[in-house]
Structure 1
Amino acid sequence: MMHLSQIFWSGFLLLAIPALAALKVANNLEVLEWTPALIAKEDYYNGTVSIVNGGIPSLSSDTSVDLGANSETQLLRQYASHKNLRTVLTTAEVYYRIVASKKKGIEKLEDLKGKRIGAFPSTSSEYFVQTLLATVGLTPSDYTVVAGGACLKEPCGSNTFPAMLKRGAIDAIGMWEPSVQLGAEAIGADAIIFEQTLYREIYGLATTAEKLADPAKRKEIVGFVAALVKAEDVFRTDPDKVVARAAAAVKTNATLFREVWPVHRWTARNPLDIVDVMLEEDKYVARADRRTPMARDVLETLVDRTLLADALKLIESTERRE
């Protein structure tokens, strides 16, 4: 079935709405997932937007920030103590992978027992590793999670996971891209990659209930989300138009970005299962943060589906005027 953005945006270059005031968006500028926001800003948003380094925590630490983006683990961590947060749009769903060294006797997931796995503790990276390895009966006590750094392109620093894998300091890497791909390239024919569809990072935008209740601010956010819908459509259907710019934005190279593109589902939506996913995942976040997991009704309040609906209406009305 044709995506709504394909119906409403075909051949359309700029969202034809009145000029908007300045909007401030906080993103982790060292991950690939933020790059649709750049294309939305530069190609489709008819207003001024500032994209700064940060994320969902910025919404609480800096009241000038209107939107923040992170994975669902960080969203849960912040929402536990800031119940005014609202997630309004998923911009990327990323199916993490594990790369391991066959020289360490790893041919299947079960062989990771007793091994050292590079991952970021208390993040979607570690949660992914735990979730995937649990499917073959491994618990966190069966392997060691080793902290390190991400790498966006060669040469990778000595403290980054690809370099650690190459010199044998770790036996595998489990996290977001492109560190997994770079790890595979670092060890060449020795690499074995485990693909999966059990877990996907849900990287999305959040704002606050107060900003959604402010008519002027809500109008700005709706306009930017509408621009993101268009940007996501290009990422999904014609990536050659944006891959070089997106790669440059995170200081990687387009060839590497193309390699990991299929791991990403570039989408602008509110997943129907997002509450179910967060309900299960919050058990992990709550243990890490030493609190009680949040109940379903609490997590349902976190999800706002009205803003995307308003953005799609804006797209439709704009298309009718053309």
Structure 2
Amino acid sequence: MLASALLTTATVGLLASSASATLKISSALSVIEYTPELWAIRQASSSSGSSSSSSPSIATITNGGVANIVTDTSVDLASNAETQALRQFATHKNLRIIYTVAEVAYRLVARSASATTVAGLKGKRIGTMPGTSAAYFVERILQDVGGLAPSDYTVVSGNICMANPCGAGSLPYMLAHGTIDAAGMWEPTMQLVLDALGTAGVPHTVFQNGSVYSEVFNLHSTSEKLADAAKRKEIVAFLKLLDKAEAQFAAPAGPSDAIVSLVASSVSGLAGNTSLVKAVWPVHTWTGDLHADKVLDVLVQEDAWVAHVDRRSAMSRETLATLIDASVLAEARQG
């Protein structure tokens, strides 16, 4: 996923009195994935009945991500996709993954006139955002499913879209108008791609394979924050709240109207569009856990790609293993 530079500057006050906040969380406010964090603290605030000092895990969420936590010591937690964690960990070995908030199986959509199989995209124009998790997904699915090398197709840079109408330069517009043959990106851009193609009456094919690539959207801290006994206690308390929120997000019957409303009103650019939130909900898996071995496998494979893009050496599996700290969640679940 894209670094926080493209996101709208915003601050979400989780309680009426931000002055009493003890945790500062930096998250990408233009993605759905961060919203269990917001729901967790809103629910804690509601159950406490006030914003008194006894309220559990009082926090604020500011727009950003892992780039903020490694440069701003006032930030205690940060959430982002694994691509940005790898990018920052290369030069900031104090970064730590402590929880997986969500996993998202990205979608690649092609005009059927261009291709009805992944292999059929050879020689075609593929829209995505270079250097991001979406670009990594495009390369992986074209290679692993279609047997295509990067030299077999042309990557075309396109923009995300959060709400209709999607303007020129956005992936939904480009694919609907035939500027590109296929597009791969995170949500809700891909749902808006499907909507645009449907409106234009353009036959299309959807490719999705979570075993090839799913975005892993993690919550991070730093070794210094986790070594501070008082701060660690607050972080552990927050993970307990987040666990409860994740269970509600992952409810078999689907999200409650209150959750959908919160997501639609809290993600930058969605402008309260609950229908769009419901449409993309099945693409998201609310993990609410930390499967260290699985995350490490993703990091090792993806870092080879990130290292190439960033023109550095890939990190070893042993080095990448130190990016993951499962002890915090284990502590939160004791007793």
Asked whether the two chains share a fold, i.e. TM above 0.5, the reply is yes
SS at match of 2:147: coil
Give me the identity figure in percent. Answer: 47
Indicate yes or no: 2:207 matched with 1:194. Answer: yes
Residue in structure 2 matching 1:52, options 59, 62, 69: 62
Contiguous gaps of at least 5 residues in structure 2: 1-19, 46-55
Residue 82 of structure 1 corresponds to 92
Indicate yes or no: 2:260 matched with 1:239. Answer: no
Within-5 A mapping of 1:211-250: 211-237=225-251, 238-241=254-257, 242-250=259-267
Q: CA deviation at 1:131?
A: 0.7
Residue 73 of structure 1 corresponds to 83
Residue 125 of structure 2 corresponds to 116
C-alpha separation between the residues in 1 aligned to 2:301 and 2:276?
A: 33
SS at match of 1:24: strand
Aligned positions, number: 294
Residue 221 of structure 2 corresponds to 207
Residue 318 of structure 2 corresponds to 297
Q: Is the 8 A contact 1:58 1:65 kept in 2?
A: yes
Q: CA deviation at 1:173?
A: 1.2
Q: Is the 8 A contact 2:66 2:78 kept in 1?
A: yes
Contiguous gaps of at least 5 residues in structure 1: 1-19, 317-322
Cα RMSD after superposing both structures: 1.4
Residue 148 of structure 1 corresponds to 158
Q: Deviations over 1:143-192 (max 9, x none)?
A: 11111211112111222111111222222111211111110110114221
Q: Is the 8 A contact 2:23 2:59 kept in 1?
A: yes
C-alpha separation between the residues in 2 aligned to 1:218 and 1:240?
A: 31
SS at match of 2:83: helix
SS at match of 1:173: strand
Q: Is the 8 A contact 2:108 2:184 kept in 1?
A: yes
Q: CA deviation at 1:21?
A: 5.1
C-alpha separation between the residues in 1 aligned to 2:331 and 2:43?
A: 20
Q: Deviations over 1:53-88 (max 9, x none)?
A: 100000122111111111111101100000001100
Q: Is the 8 A contact 2:21 2:60 kept in 1?
A: no
SS at match of 2:135: helix
Q: Is the 8 A contact 2:197 2:204 kept in 1?
A: yes
Q: CA deviation at 1:282?
A: 0.6
Within-5 A mapping of 1:21-32: 22-32=22-32
Query: Deviation above 2 Å: which 4+ runs of structure 1?
Result: none
Indicate yes or no: 2:284 matched with 1:264. Answer: yes
Q: TM-score, normalised by structure 1?
A: 0.88
Q: CA deviation at 1:106?
A: 1.3
Structure 2: which amino acid aligns with 1:140? P
SS at match of 2:314: coil
C-alpha separation between the residues in 1 aligned to 2:44 and 2:316?
A: 38
C-alpha separation between the residues in 2 aligned to 1:36 and 1:230?
A: 9
Q: Pick which of 92-101 and 36-45 moved more.
A: 36-45
